[in-house]
Amino acid sequence: MPLRVFRGLIFPFDRALIILTVSKSVVYSLAKISIMDDKYFMKMALELAEKGLGFTSPNPMVGAVIVKDGKVVGKGYHKAVGKAHAEINAINDAKTSAAGGTLYVTLEPCNHTGRTLPCTLKIAEAGIKRVVVAMKDPNPDVKGGGIAYLKNKGIDVTLGICEDEAKKLNEAFIKFVETGSPFVTLKCAATLDGRIATRTGDARWVSGEESRRFVHKLRHTADAIMVGVNTVKIDDPSLTTRLDDMNGLDPARIILDTNLSISEEARVLQLDSDSDTIIITCSSVSKDKKNRIEKKGAKIIEAPVKDGLIDLASLMVHLGALEITSLLIEGGSRVNASALSAGIVDKVIFFYAPKILGGDDGIPMCMGPGPDLMKNCIPVRNINVHRFGDDVMIEGYIK
């Protein structure tokens, strides 16, 4: 039998080959199992993070799980702005069992003092030996600081497990901290032939009950909802969140009203709500009417006007300064077209109901001139399709 020398040792060739092959296979398998375990526990952390949906803004949603000897010994998530971060809640839940354990967290632990003390200090003090992070903090002022601190303390750090899922969960937070402007979602419900209302303006109801229930969940997750004054005049909506299974939060209600023509009896001016009603208008409107509207509790913001309409690009900067991190646009046609034309839309959510208006006189999804050529259409990417009852929802990204 031929002999071979491996690292100073002499083995029969065939036996050595088998030993090396088996060893390599075992190492690969162990690494694969470790990655699968990391993903399993990180997905658990992501599910916890999602419980904060709608409650944490302008903070991100974060979930954390502590594992020791293959068992979960602590869990936590960020419940609301100003309250303890996910890592702190998980460590408090684990108590002394956190020592020597692995922390799975959906966002890089903070290493700076804000509304709360740095989480990195608590992690080190708890004796955690390994931290698995889904994504770095996108804030350019703190990115990487938490990871660097943990490594300097001798804590093993793994980065990038379930990163795409973590980024999608906090897409609004990421856009806000990177640009200072809100993440904008354009929602629209239409018939199969692309009409959001009949020629008389009747739009009750284009979509079904399940779709409308989902829209109220979208309102709960958004900091603000925006419509044009014509929608207020025709539908007289409340623009609040109404959910049967939870106490959803109302978004701030933003009304685009260049000439301040809103009725003083409009429902949005009569609400008992914890959130604001904000009227966006120009500087030349009647001071007397402004005072009357403000006495009803609404806020009036004067914004630049472009081509006779509110300049939406400038408005987004102003809303960002108010810490509005996410904005849901609910139409109508002119606002939809203006938002797309201004390039402020990040995401579209279009509901198509199994109905055909069957004429060309209904109100389209967008009103105004479009491009001359198909190649100049606005591309929508990363498409997802969902069903709500008989309705089909198409979700995609523009930016």
The answer to whether 230 and 334 have CB atoms below 8 angstroms apart is: yes
Active site residue 87: yes
CB proximity list for 125: less than 8 A, separation 6 or greater = none
Q: What is the SS3 assignment for 300?
A: strand
Active-site hit among 50, 87, 209, 302:
87
The residue length of the chain stands at 399
Residue with tokens 């959510």: 349
CA 193, chain centre distance (Å): 30
The helix/strand count (H/E) of the chain reads as 11, 20
Task: Kindly list the catalytic residues.
Answer: 87
